[in-house]
Structure 1
Amino acid sequence: MPSPRAMAAIAAVAAALAAVAALTDLLSYGEAAIFLGVAYLVMIARRVDGKAHRIELRVKRHEAALQKVEQQVAALAAKLDDGSAQRQEDLAAILASLGEDRVNAMAQAEELRNLLKAAR
């Protein structure tokens, strides 16, 4: 496909040829106008096609970037879940340790009371 500049050059040449053909009576002025209109429509269609292609490329680039971001978010979510699970395990271990210490303290207090009673 020609570039937009090449299309403009082709349209300019076509306009010049149509003008020359109309002036030399090879084409009527109506036919020359139709020829120029078709050339103009082809140039516009090419330009719109080029813009659509650039938009498509931009969308693909943004989709790729979005996939990278989604992967990073998924990795962060997994790390947060792992960290949360680890904190839950640590908290459970701390609470169990505190519970054991309390049970042991109660048993020691009971022993101490029994020893005090025996000593009196």
Structure 2
Amino acid sequence: MPETTTPADEIRAAAKKLRSLATGAAHEDRTRWEVGHTLGSKSRVVVDNHERPTVLIETWAAHREQVDDYLAAFASPAVGLGVAQWLEQTAREIADCGGFAAGAVDGPMNDRDHNAWSAALTVARAITAV
């Protein structure tokens, strides 16, 4: 991947990566994962379909109910696609306003925009670090 030079570039790169990952994780157009049980199983699992799962995640964490709920809520491809869309929009907004660098703001922007853009950059950097 080419070296990114601006926060908007970093956010765009993360959006592209996340969109690709979320699309790849959606089997047979199943973009929502749920907590439940597979047929015949008494263990809680996260699945993309209860009757014919193509994704099945079983956790063994001490608080696995919370882990399962988190995975179903946030790891679903639908969430990844939504976050990718938010990142793409944020990158466009940053570029349209002239960007921001090293905490200094260039262009018309208020504290709310700066906070939202900083949050998007934090999310983007977490995605690209994986």
Higher relative contact order (CA 8 A, sep 6+): 2
TM-score (norm 1): 0.28
More strand by share: 2
More helix by share: 1
Larger Rg: 1
